[in-house]
Structure 1
Amino acid sequence: MRHRELEPEGEAPTLRTPDPQPSLHGRTTEVSLLGDFLARVGAGDGGALLLSGEAGVGKSALLEAAAGRAQGLGMRVVRAAGAEFEVEVSFATLNQLLGPFIGLMPQLDPADWEALGAAIQIGGSHTGDPTQVSTATLALLRKAAEHQALLLVVDDLPWMDKASARVLAFVARRLAGHSVGFVGAARTGEAGLFDDVDLPRLTVAPLPSAPAQALLDQNFPELTEPLRRRILDDARGYPLALLELPTALVNLGHVEAAKAPVVLPVTDRIKALFAARVRSLPAETNDLLLLAALDGTGDLRVLTDATSDQSAPGEAASDPLDALGPAEVVNLIYVDPITGRLEFRHPLTRAAVVAMATDAERRRAHKVLASRLADDPDRRAWQMSAAALGPDESVAAELEHVAHRAAVRGDPVGAVAAYVRAADLTPERSRKLRRLALAAYFGANVTGDLGMAAPLLDEAALEADPDAALTITLAAAAQLLNQNGDLDTTYRLLVNAVEMRRGPLHAENEVLVETLHTLLLICYFGGRPELWAPLDRAIARLEPGPPPDLRLLRAALGDPARLAVDVLDHLDTAIALLHGKQDAAHIRRVGIAAVFTDRVTGCLPALRRVVEDGRSGGAVTASIDALFLLATHYYFTGAWDETERDAGEGLALCDDLGFQMLAWPGHYLRGLVAAARGDEDAVRVMTARMAAWGFPRRVGCIQHYIAHLNCQAALARGEFDAAFRHASLVSPPGTLASHTPLAMWLVLDLTEAAARSGRTREASAHVDAATQAGIGRISTRLDLIVRGATAIASAAARPTQDTDDAFETALAAPGTERYPFEVARIHLAYGEHLRRTRRASAAGVHLELAVDLFDRLGAAPWAERAAREGRAVGKATPRLRTGVSGADTAGALTPQQRQVAELAAAGLTNKQIGERLFLSPRTVATHLYELFPKLGITSRAALRDALAANDDATPPAPDVQP
């Protein structure tokens, strides 16, 4: 038996395919092959093409596409389909196909007319020769195609009656040279008489991953990510499953149940595909199939154990798996020769087998399986829960243990599903509410589902059981914080819930510890030192002491300037152990502790695992934090495009899930990049949004974000007085504000702004505060910042040889090259210092390095600042990617006069120009007095046009490579 296979050679992109059926995702190659076939038919070289594939793989959709394409080409299309109830009716399918051509039959030879007329029961009496009927059919079709090409489309070939199948098989082999095409479809292995016909075949395979996702998303865009992943996994690329399974899910009580180890429900349409084959099997075969479907592992030992004790006393034991033979014969199952496991040939067979069983049969099968799973408590609990008729505390308690184990091993979605099912089976109100609250908390804080917590808030006040009340409060607080940003209300709820508990607090109480973690984040977002006291009191009451994650976060996030040094060894150990961790919540917490101690680098592999888990529908909330932590790492290491990318992905998730509070760190990171790159419009819009949302809610952290962004934007413009005012809102000069981690990040900003705005005393005081706090011991980057600030403050106060040494020491420290933005700023400050002390050649070296680093970062205003300084010492600067022009001096202006002219043209006052160029206002006025005649003007108002005209008249300076 030979078939000429037309196998698709690969998937081409579907976006620009001229496909008349745009819903046929991933079928570009198949549609193209069909198009080529139809083109040949239209050109008079007819033939046949058989589509084969499993049920639900999309054969009918391709037939529909072929029919539509043929009609578009001007062909006449006639369709038919085999039907189970007509399989014994001779010539039933042939009647469907030939009906439109009855009017042409009188044009046939009399013998053909007689034979065909009798076959399709419109006259004639000669019925003895099947070959005559086949010949007459071929003649009639050729006659019908004389003036218009013809396409016959036949679905479900195996259900065609045998008489029609013989005729059409005869016809299909003899269409060459005529404008008649035949396209039929059959399930793999079920082509009947056509299976022995040597015709071209196109094998239709399941959809690859990307088109399958596109098909599902197009038709069911509102699916939650866990359900989406479950459907994609179960459908295995079969379009029918992708379109039918979501429809069946509307009957589930909880969408979380879709992640439980049960078979997804199916529609009547899916059941109908398999009904005949399943119902034809012996009862014992169906029993084993049901056990296999509900077990889901394919482990033959489970089936053997489940049926081994069913032999009658004294009866010789037989192989219990022999009963599976009939199911193998009809291609429902097979045993994988490599794994030795039972597999269902079609992804929907398993679901159909379960759907076709009665409730009693399913419960009995679940009990049998549960009795054989004593060594697998998780699967046993799920099987018992499926067998339960109503509330059952013993089963609910087992499922709660399942949820706990799932959370520990890093499967929060599984934990939510187990908690929800446990609550469904819980008869007692307090326990039921507590388990629902745990599901809601994991949903809000881990999987990104905020919809479960809201109904629980009113229950907390009515609940007498303290553990249940605390759990409900925690779940409700997670929603209030993440969605509404109601920080003060959430804070009061949690503080009251903790302080109402009398006596010592036990660290093994996981709900209590989760409550303290949530309270810690609220204190951080609040940005007010007074918020921390209740948390510290609660931590002090924990026995035998706080868990490691809580202790690390309290020190590294709460007040790192004063506490982080004491936990660095423990933090480094925790980071080193992340390689073996799967718990997204733990990875997230260690990563947050690492961010203000500049240790995110060591967390990168684990954070990327969390991100991938979130992308596949796992710990989505944790993946948002992980994306922002990665974006922070990229910001400090100069990979700003990656900062934009990861922060953008995290913000998109926040927007999809309704997380408002969680989104602001992502906006802040993108704002930092925008400020440094000179996108002032973006900064202005960002800070306005932050203020409108954060100020009414008293979210101090957001106020600090705004201050930092405004400070960075002002520094980039060279407006040092404004920068100083903004930086001082985060931490007053001369101190590092308590419980304000961002104060450490602004040490260099505040010092430079103070020094450049004439506040040398404040600059020195701030350096002293940072030095005394010892924040340089925390990380290489913070050490670089403190050393750079020390040098800048020294240069502003009373420059000495020690000032040069301070700059050199800062730039020479090992590891500082990982932080290009800070290094570039220190090079710029050093170059400015050297220029003021009249060492132009040395200044040029550092200014050139600063220009190059800023340019690579895309920090246009900073590169422009450095380039102007370079021109002031006669240093030609390269043409930059950031758009800063080279050295093209107007007329006979000196480099410093050119700088003064540009700044004055931009609208700066003499005092502001002096602050930028380290000149007195009187010197600035002198420069203006001297340069006005050179440009032929008499006022500042004419400066811009005069400089532009002079630029046009002056040949551009040659490019100078750095």
Structure 2
Amino acid sequence: MRDRPVQRLIGRAQELLILESFIREAIVDGGALLLSGDPGVGKTALLDAAAGYARDAGAVVLRVEGTEQERQLSYAALNQALYPLAGRFEDLGKDQRMALEVALGFCDGPPPNRLLVSNAVAVLLRTTAERSPHVLLVDDVQWIDRASAGVFSFVARRLAGSRAGMLAAGRSGEDQGYFDRAGLPAHELKPLTEEAADRLVSEHFAGIDAIVKDRILRTANGNPLALLELPRSLTDSQRSAAERLPAVLPLGERLNRSFASRVLILQEATRRLLLAAALEGTGDLGVLEAAGFDADDVAPAERDRLVEVHDHRLRFRHPLIRSAVVEAATASERRATHARLAAVLLDQPERRAWHLGEATVVPDEQVAIALEEAAQHILARGDHQATVALLIRSADLSPEAAERSRRLATAAFIGAEAMGETRSVAELLADSRRASSSAQASLHYASASALVMLDDDGHLGTIHHLLARAIEGNPQRHDAGDPEIVNALWTLALLSFLGGREELWTELYDALDRLTEGPPALLRLVVDLFADPVRTGLAALPRLEAELLAVRHDTDTEKVQNLAGAAMYVDRLAQARDGLWRHVVQGREGGPARRQLVALMDLCVDDFHRGQWQEAAELAEEGLQLTEHRAGRFFAFYFRYHQALLAAVRGRVEESRELAEQMIGWAGPRDVGVARTYAQHALILAALADADFESAYRHACAMSPAGTLASHLPHCLWVAMDLVEAAVRTDRRVDAERHVRALREAKVSELSPRLAILVAASAGLVAAGDEARTYFEQALASPGAEQWPFDVARVRLLYGEHLRRARAIAEAKVQLQEALAAFRTLGAAPWAARAERELRAAGLAAVPVSRAASVLTAQELQIARLAASGLTNKEIAARLYLSPRTVSGHLYRIFPKLGITTRAAIRDALGP
């Protein structure tokens, strides 16, 4: 049977195969099948698909839809089914025909015998199907009238051996009305998988915000009707996250018909209990009973399979039932229930505050204070969405305009700093201004405004100046214990870094010096290591090491990310990777997008230095998608930078240069100096890849002139060896020596093992004879050198070139072949070509490339080796910080590349 466009149902491939198989068999040898499932799970859509299959096969389709309105009309559903066959009643015997016509109201007569009617229908279907197959489709069997349901139950068991089939669909887990399904073949329709549900929403609502989509996915729980109707029940601004979502998503008309009707028929006491359970959240019957509800009232809802009770906890069988319960209640009923729950949750202040907030209508400062205190506790646990919601509600209930304004400004800052939701933040700032003319005196207002202006393409120098002036003019500017002061200083530090100029940091230092008791320890640590590690980093290293040891299992997301910033330029990001990956995973699941964004930035840096280039490429793409669809549009340059780096080292030089020029063009009018610096880094590598050492030297000196390590430009550390190599190859040996001297005087090698490798190799480039050998050997002997495969391979290449010129051919061969193997594994094509040329110049052939290494990317090769060692996809994913699905996707591509079809064949395909 050919596919039909109407049968394209996302996530229902298995069900469609079952239905196609049933139709194919039924039109030859008869039969019946019952589909069951929750309301909205897609039964009708599958019946539509089955009708398409039947018509394609030349069958006559008879369609019945049960309705509540006709449930009391005898034979109403049977009339629907057989009306198209009225002209064939003459094929029946006289008694059967008369019974059937009377039952269907075609003629008058005494009430017919039910068994006679049932036999007549069975004979009619079998007889008419002899000429052409017939398929009877019955939808919503739970609403079929009693008389018709009896006939359908009878007929379903007597179609075998005919060319007629019956496919019925009804709700699962509850009374099927009058239809007797005992003994009939059945298939229960399950909710869509998480992947299929995500695809369904994405295809129908392309612009929906990721956090909003995640909320819909959780509420719908795989129900297709809900996945389509819940987004439609939201406004455009709610779908785009510009407006916050209600506590319970509105169901919309179609979902209400499917779910609310089951709630409304319950007795009042049961509905009150279910409402309390829905609002209480945990389903703890002890709490509900303490609030004055009778747990025994749950029984009718249990019998109707709306809820289930285990271990004294009530659980709704589907989130949509919970939504229906809440939506069926009046506003006053909801408020009264919240008040009763608040009265018994005295030992749980956060939950009590929320219930008080929902129960309160008029402004009440005591409730507003309770909500604000609860928000601060929740913020410490990293739940930024809940924090913002509580602060907004606290502001709504604030009697004083100034307090309302302050609380809205705080919510705006958290929304901007942690979640990156600048559209909704701009609205909160506007509300804060409307609430009080003193709004702009709040440093949370100033900080949030700065972050919003960044995303609105504001001039960074101006934004920095406005925030610095706001801090300087604030009465609490001396108080390091004031959260608004501290948060403003963190924001000013970010702006200073993005500006990439020493004078911007000077204003931050002045603000830190004004603090009576000095800056917070973590802020001081990050500034020392992130702003200018050349001058202040060495003394701060012991503090960093202690913090990194303590933070390994820390759940404070803000602390983890700040420490990652401190660790970046001293190459200790690996010690924060677990925490960073937690932020990424949380963001993918709908958590704070800004936290996810920063974590992706840090992981891209660490991946690049550690040679995990495929993962770096995937994370950079993820970061770009995040900036486009969720948060932090301003930070897109950071991920283009990584794409430019990867393009350069892989030999796509023009692509790298184009990306770098885009960054420079974007950064100019916005005064984002760090983006220009990053672009120079990419241009240096692109020039080295192209053997254009003059351009490499020029770009390196644009970052920091030879012989200097520019103040407050830590990126110059990463290109130190690039500058020295370019200087040597362009006959600027004096400049190269001056730069090596500057690196030594600043004790850069003591900042990190990786920097020690670069400094030693740079010294080897400017030295001669045995002294050069000593430096290169020192670089390669650095502890943990294998962690930095690209840097080490470059050192081996430089060392091998030196040895070849010194005619130490045997030793050169070792270094050059090691370098070549590493470059090939990494995919660093330009450097691999250089190593091959050096080997040929030494009179040696390049090491043959294994078939696996020639056809697989570096990450594919790594995954293949781990799979060959016996690790599962889950274990490989944990080892490489990938998802099991990503590993599976890589293996799916690896198999055809290696010409194999099973996992067991990987080891042989890889070779020795």
Taking structure 1 as the reference length, what is the TM-score of the superposition?
0.85
Larger deviation: 286-295 or 216-225? Answer: 216-225
Identity, % of aligned pairs? Answer: 41
Give the structure 1 partner of residue 571 of structure 2: 598
- Contact 1:755-1:792 within 8 A present in 2 as well: yes
Select which of 87, 92, 95 maps to 2:79. Answer: 95
Deviation at 1:164, TM superposition (A): 0.9
Give the structure 1 partner of residue 643 of structure 2: 670
- Contact 2:457-2:670 within 8 A present in 1 as well: no
- Contact 1:744-1:782 within 8 A present in 2 as well: yes
Q: 1:722 to 1:250 in 2, by over 3 A?
A: closer
Deviation at 1:71, TM superposition (A): 2.0
Larger deviation: 359-368 or 500-509? Answer: 500-509
Deviation digits for residues 188-231 of structure 1, max 9, x if unmatched? 23223333542111111222211122222222333322222222
Select which of 429, 434, 444 maps to 2:416. Answer: 444
Give the structure 1 partner of residue 393 of structure 2: 421
Deviation digits for residues 875-929 of structure 1, max 9, x if unmatched? 22234589999xxxxxxxxxxxxxxxxxxxxxxxxxxxxxxxxxxxxxxxxxxxx
Give the structure 2 partner of residue 916 of structure 1: none
Deviation digits for residues 915-945 of structure 1, max 9, x if unmatched? xxxxxxxxxxxxxxxxxxxxxxxxxxxxxxx
Deviation at 1:735, TM superposition (A): 1.2
Residue correspondence of structure 1 range 215-614 to structure 2 within 5 A: 215-250=200-235, 262-307=247-292, 320-336=294-310, 339-455=311-427, 465=438, 469-484=442-457, 486-502=459-475, 504-614=477-587
Any idea what SS the aligned residue of 2:168 has?
A: strand
Select which of 147, 166, 176 maps to 2:131. Answer: 147
- Contact 1:863-1:884 within 8 A present in 2 as well: no
Aligned residue type for 2:138: V
Select which of 675, 687, 692 maps to 1:719. Answer: 692
CA distance in 2, matches of 1:838, 1:510: 65
Larger deviation: 619-628 or 219-228? Answer: 219-228
Deviation at 1:275, TM superposition (A): 4.5
Q: 1:353 to 1:839 in 2, by over 3 A?
A: closer
Deviation at 1:362, TM superposition (A): 1.3
Aligned residue type for 1:157: V
Q: 1:714 to 1:98 in 2, by over 3 A?
A: same
Q: 1:280 to 1:860 in 2, by over 3 A?
A: closer
Aligned residue type for 1:411: D
Deviation digits for residues 106-164 of structure 1, max 9, x if unmatched? 23211111111111111252534211111111222233323222111111212111111
Aligned residue type for 1:33: I
CA distance in 1, matches of 2:217, 2:147: 41
CA distance in 2, matches of 1:852, 1:594: 30
CA distance in 2, matches of 1:306, 1:666: 53
Larger deviation: 442-451 or 533-542? Answer: 442-451
- Contact 2:242-2:423 within 8 A present in 1 as well: no
Residue correspondence of structure 1 range 99-138 to structure 2 within 5 A: 99-123=83-107, 125-138=109-122
Q: 1:540 to 1:466 in 2, by over 3 A?
A: farther
Any idea what SS the aligned residue of 1:835 has?
A: helix
Q: Which structure 1 residue ranges, 5 or more long, are not aligned? A: 1-15, 309-319, 886-960
- Contact 2:574-2:606 within 8 A present in 1 as well: yes
Q: 1:790 to 1:229 in 2, by over 3 A?
A: same
Deviation at 1:686, TM superposition (A): 0.6
Deviation digits for residues 296-331 of structure 1, max 9, x if unmatched? 2110011110117xxxxxxxxxxx222222222332
Any idea what SS the aligned residue of 1:335 has?
A: strand
Give the structure 1 partner of residue 805 of structure 2: 836
Give the structure 2 partner of residue 626 of structure 1: 599
Q: 1:397 to 1:213 in 2, by over 3 A?
A: same
Give the structure 1 partner of residue 814 of structure 2: 845
CA distance in 2, matches of 1:257, 1:735: 48
CA distance in 2, matches of 1:492, 1:250: 38
CA distance in 2, matches of 1:852, 1:422: 62
Q: 1:461 to 1:46 in 2, by over 3 A?
A: closer
CA distance in 2, matches of 1:254, 1:639: 36
Deviation at 1:721, TM superposition (A): 2.2
- Contact 2:408-2:429 within 8 A present in 1 as well: no
Query: Is the counterpart of residue 806 in structure 1 residue 806 in structure 2?
Result: no
Query: Is the counterpart of residue 867 in structure 1 residue 851 in structure 2?
Result: no
Deviation at 1:582, TM superposition (A): 2.3
- Contact 2:708-2:739 within 8 A present in 1 as well: yes
Q: 1:738 to 1:205 in 2, by over 3 A?
A: same
Aligned residue type for 1:114: M
Deviation at 1:526, TM superposition (A): 0.9
- Contact 1:727-1:750 within 8 A present in 2 as well: yes
Aligned residue type for 1:568: L
**Residues matched between the structures, number:** 854
Q: Which structure 2 residue ranges, 5 or more long, are not aligned? A: 855-910
Larger deviation: 30-39 or 237-246? Answer: 237-246
- Contact 2:137-2:168 within 8 A present in 1 as well: yes
CA distance in 2, matches of 1:495, 1:852: 52
CA distance in 2, matches of 1:575, 1:488: 33
Q: 1:277 to 1:751 in 2, by over 3 A?
A: closer
Q: 1:102 to 1:674 in 2, by over 3 A?
A: same
CA distance in 1, matches of 2:795, 2:238: 61
Aligned residue type for 1:694: A
Give the structure 2 partner of residue 311 of structure 1: none
Give the structure 2 partner of residue 924 of structure 1: none
Any idea what SS the aligned residue of 1:307 has?
A: coil
Give the structure 1 partner of residue 169 of structure 2: 185
CA distance in 2, matches of 1:539, 1:780: 31
CA distance in 2, matches of 1:492, 1:382: 39
Deviation at 1:540, TM superposition (A): 1.4
Any idea what SS the aligned residue of 1:85 has?
A: coil
Deviation digits for residues 683-718 of structure 1, max 9, x if unmatched? 121112012101222222122122222222222222
Which of 1 and 2 has greater Rg? 1
Deviation at 1:335, TM superposition (A): 0.6
- Contact 2:208-2:239 within 8 A present in 1 as well: no
Deviation at 1:504, TM superposition (A): 4.7
Taking structure 2 as the reference length, what is the TM-score of the superposition?
0.89
